[in-house]
Structure 1
Amino acid sequence: MDIKPDIEPSHRLGAAVCAALLAAGLAWGIHSLWQSRGRLAGLTPSAWLDGSAGQALKPALRLPAQAQVETGLAALRYRLLGSLGKQVVQGCPGWLFYRDGLQPQPGHAQAFAQRLRLMRHWVGELRATGVQVLVVAVPDKSRVEAARLCGLQAAPAMRERLDDWHAGLAASQVPYVDLRAALDARTPGYFRTDVHMNGHGAAASAEAVAAAALHFLGQPGQQRYAVGSAARPTERVGDLLVLAGLEHAPDRWRPLPDLVREQTVKPEIAGGLLDEVAPPEVLLAGSSNGRRSHFAERLGMRLGRQVWNLSMDGGQFSGALQAALRQRAQWPASLRLVIWEFSEMALSLPLTEDEKTTLATLPSR
């Protein structure tokens, strides 16, 4: 009987396809780098060592239609698996939450203790210059909207965090505002698809903070504000939808965005354009909460004063406060009160580089 030798399958076609894809990727990379040569020319050698060069070039190296592909994959992941990625989870239908608000990151206890030290240092520094401080930790959305969690559970350490923080403030005799009661009375006080307070929550919080601030300022001032409202609600795609990669997905392939009737809150100008504005007495050094839902303007409306708003997106625990302190020489002599606002969740996040730098200058005890 004749035995035919085994015939090895050919891999030439697969190898050719892989080679073609690699060649196309190389060509696209060279083309993208050439198009970004102006950006490359401005980079210093240190930028290639610390990773900032890679971040600068990352947008240029994206493939054609990559954004659409990523949106499609995120939509499929949500529709088929009910998953919103690593950072976002869904409670009750349509209610999204930030995972870091429910589960602590490694080293959260040490970060919390270090932030108590930083708080005492910065408050003491401000008081030494005659400026008072009012601390406001905005409760996490998962705490206030607990009825919308639908089975999601927050770790015990996260549930105890706000009380522990307030106890630390009280022990250091630092004034603070606990917003839980105010927000509980206005629930829902947060957007469904966003981590921030909605208009109702911002108004309730501003009222509570203003009541505490007037203990330092006395009677409300004379500044008036004009409030307007849009004729009809519009869609508002929250940051949690963006974080889940579903910002541009069709509505049937993502949780529905919030419907919001946008408002405007602006200080009224009583005199002419050349009239001087009263120098600020209140500085708001806040997180993105201070830049959403007209929180700063609503606060000013309750105080009867314009608020100098130095809040910043991504400021976490102390970003805005440290930025404001770096401008301390330019503060007007009229400034009497700093309202330091941040999200409760920021208490448990890893320390920023700026926070580590400040800690290194503090005495060990």
Structure 2
Amino acid sequence: MYFQTAIRLAAPVAFFGYAAFANIALFQADVEGPHLDGFVKGGFTQEVDTLYRANLPHRDVAVGWVGAARYVLLNEGRKGVIAGEKGWLFSSEEFREQDPDQIGLTDTLDWIASVQDRLAQTGTELVVVPLPAKLEIAQIHGGDAEQAQSIAGTYDLFLAELAARDIVTVDTRPALTTETAAFFQTDTHWTSAGAQTVAQTVAESGKVEIGTDKFTRADLDPIHFTGDLVSFVTSEELAPTVGLTMETVTPYVAEMAADDGAIGTIDLFGSDGPVPIALVGTSYSANPNWSFVEALKLELAQDILNFAEEGQGPVAPMHTYLETLDPAEAPPIVIWEFPVRYLSDPALMDSLLPTNGDDNV
């Protein structure tokens, strides 16, 4: 208790000391400072900010070392990450308040229902694939059993409310719970094993018809990368020294085999053959490193067109897909990958708001 308090108090003292040293070094350096006319034109603050960001000595090194020390001594990171146990990191998004009224769950569900209605008009069936939170699946490493159960309750409620609206869903949690390596330790995303587990669950659910296409799996070279949550703790260079080691994934592709056994390709713009299934979702689906779309091809024995987008959440990609959908080329099924951790985001539905700048809209 006293040790942690002392560390927390020592941090600002160290920063003030460094700030004094850094400012002396900065203003002795040969750099262009802010202009006085910035006071008049309103750009002075921006000029000062740019000056410090571009020229403050040792900034990146200091941030990295302070972050590493804070993680080692207090098991804490900066805003955006929650440190679990034994090198596990979790997005702070999973630690938000899960109250259904506060997170506006009803509005989200109503819009999902409207998506189903619009797709039905083109003869397309919607299949929602909710993804449980990493915190719930890996709660043994999370260090917060109460929050894990809270976000698990959101998953339960989401599934129940979708069913109440007659929206087809696939419950992925039971299978992911049994997968020992469903998520990366230092990244927000699932592993290729987690993605494959969900693809198998979709195929075994009976909600999507199994096709007759034949695919073969071809592994690519392994990729070593620093998890996206590490940047909220320390620098990439210092991460291994505090136990945040690099992650490894082996992506793969599903290659369609022709009837004669040769590897072939599909004529996506021809008139022969059925229209492929469409996949909409987040970076869980969009990033080829996780191989989710490839796993779906193998498990469903059907071609998949991927309309998922990275960094947009689950709502914006579906909105974009609907805006560009040609009813004459509507697929028989749209699979919507939907991580439940986004449901507590107060800005989740903002992508549906007008963006033309007209205040009268």
TM-score w.r.t. length of structure 1: 0.74
Q: 1:118, 1:307 → 2: CA distance?
A: 24
Specify the alignment match of 1:72 in structure 2: 65
C-alpha contact (below 8 Å) 2:103/2:345 kept by paired residues: no
Distance 1:215 1:179, change over 3 A: closer
Give 3-state SS (helix, strand or coil) of 2:213's partner.
coil
- The question of 1:132 aligning with 2:125 is answered yes
- The question of 1:81 aligning with 2:78 is answered no
The Cα of 1:66 is off from its aligned counterpart by 3.7
Residue 286 of structure 1: which of 257, 281, 290 is its match? 281
C-alpha contact (below 8 Å) 1:284/1:308 kept by paired residues: yes
Residue 84 of structure 2: which of 73, 91, 94 is its match? 91
Specify the alignment match of 1:7 in structure 2: none
Distance 1:118 1:250, change over 3 A: closer
The Cα of 1:245 is off from its aligned counterpart by 3.7
Structure 1 residues without counterparts, runs of 5 or longer: 1-14, 31-47, 49-53, 359-365
Give 3-state SS (helix, strand or coil) of 1:27's partner.
coil
Q: How does 1:150-299 map to 2 (within 5 A)?
A: 150-151=143-144, 153-154=146-147, 157-212=150-205, 215-216=207-208, 218-228=209-219, 230=221, 235-258=224-247, 260=248, 262-268=250-256, 270=258, 276-277=267-268, 280-290=275-285, 291=287, 292-299=289-296
Distance 1:25 1:193, change over 3 A: farther
Distance 1:244 1:257, change over 3 A: same
- The question of 1:303 aligning with 2:300 is answered yes
Equivalenced residue count is 315
Q: 1:223, 1:146 → 2: CA distance?
A: 38
Give 3-state SS (helix, strand or coil) of 1:135's partner.
strand
C-alpha contact (below 8 Å) 2:192/2:249 kept by paired residues: no
- The residue identity in structure 2 corresponding to 1:114 is D
Question: What are the Cα deviations for residues 313-347 of structure 1, in whole angstroms up to 9, with x where unaligned?
Answer: 12213121111112113x66261111111211001
Distance 1:309 1:100, change over 3 A: same
- The residue identity in structure 2 corresponding to 1:81 is L
Q: How does 1:5-84 map to 2 (within 5 A)?
A: 21-22=26-27, 27=32, 62-63=54-55, 66-84=59-77
Give 3-state SS (helix, strand or coil) of 2:32's partner.
helix
- The residue identity in structure 1 corresponding to 2:251 is Q
Give 3-state SS (helix, strand or coil) of 1:77's partner.
helix
- Identity across matched positions, percent: 24
Structure 2 residues without counterparts, runs of 5 or longer: 1-19, 36-41, 356-361
- The residue identity in structure 1 corresponding to 2:177 is D
The Cα of 1:69 is off from its aligned counterpart by 3.4
Specify the alignment match of 1:146 in structure 2: 139
C-alpha contact (below 8 Å) 2:275/2:331 kept by paired residues: yes
- The residue identity in structure 1 corresponding to 2:117 is G
Q: Which region of structure 1 is more displaced relative to structure 2, 73-82 or 118-127?
A: 73-82
Q: 1:140, 1:25 → 2: CA distance?
A: 50
C-alpha contact (below 8 Å) 1:237/1:257 kept by paired residues: yes
Distance 1:319 1:163, change over 3 A: same
Q: 1:205, 1:186 → 2: CA distance?
A: 10
The Cα of 1:282 is off from its aligned counterpart by 0.8
The Cα of 1:65 is off from its aligned counterpart by 5.5
Q: 1:328, 1:179 → 2: CA distance?
A: 27
C-alpha contact (below 8 Å) 1:287/1:316 kept by paired residues: yes
Q: 1:59, 1:344 → 2: CA distance?
A: 41
What is the aligned-residue RMSD (CA, Å)? 3.5
Q: 1:158, 1:97 → 2: CA distance?
A: 13
Specify the alignment match of 1:36 in structure 2: none
Q: 2:342, 2:199 → 1: CA distance?
A: 20
Q: 2:266, 2:281 → 1: CA distance?
A: 29
Q: 2:94, 2:263 → 1: CA distance?
A: 47
Distance 1:253 1:147, change over 3 A: closer
Distance 1:140 1:299, change over 3 A: same
The Cα of 1:62 is off from its aligned counterpart by 3.1
Specify the alignment match of 1:42 in structure 2: none
Specify the alignment match of 1:11 in structure 2: none
Q: 2:64, 2:98 → 1: CA distance?
A: 27
Residue 318 of structure 1: which of 305, 309, 315 is its match? 315
Q: 1:121, 1:60 → 2: CA distance?
A: 48
C-alpha contact (below 8 Å) 1:102/1:154 kept by paired residues: yes
Give 3-state SS (helix, strand or coil) of 1:100's partner.
helix
- The residue identity in structure 2 corresponding to 1:297 is E
- The residue identity in structure 1 corresponding to 2:212 is G
Give 3-state SS (helix, strand or coil) of 2:118's partner.
helix
Question: What are the Cα deviations for residues 61-101 of structure 1, in whole angstroms up to 9, with x where unaligned?
Answer: 53365433332332222233321122212222011111221
Question: What are the Cα deviations for residues 251-280 of structure 1, in whole angstroms up to 9, with x where unaligned?
Answer: 11342233x351322323536878724564
Q: 1:328, 1:204 → 2: CA distance?
A: 29
Q: 1:107, 1:29 → 2: CA distance?
A: 48
Q: 1:58, 1:280 → 2: CA distance?
A: 52
Q: 1:108, 1:70 → 2: CA distance?
A: 38
Specify the alignment match of 2:329 in structure 1: 333
Q: 2:229, 2:188 → 1: CA distance?
A: 7
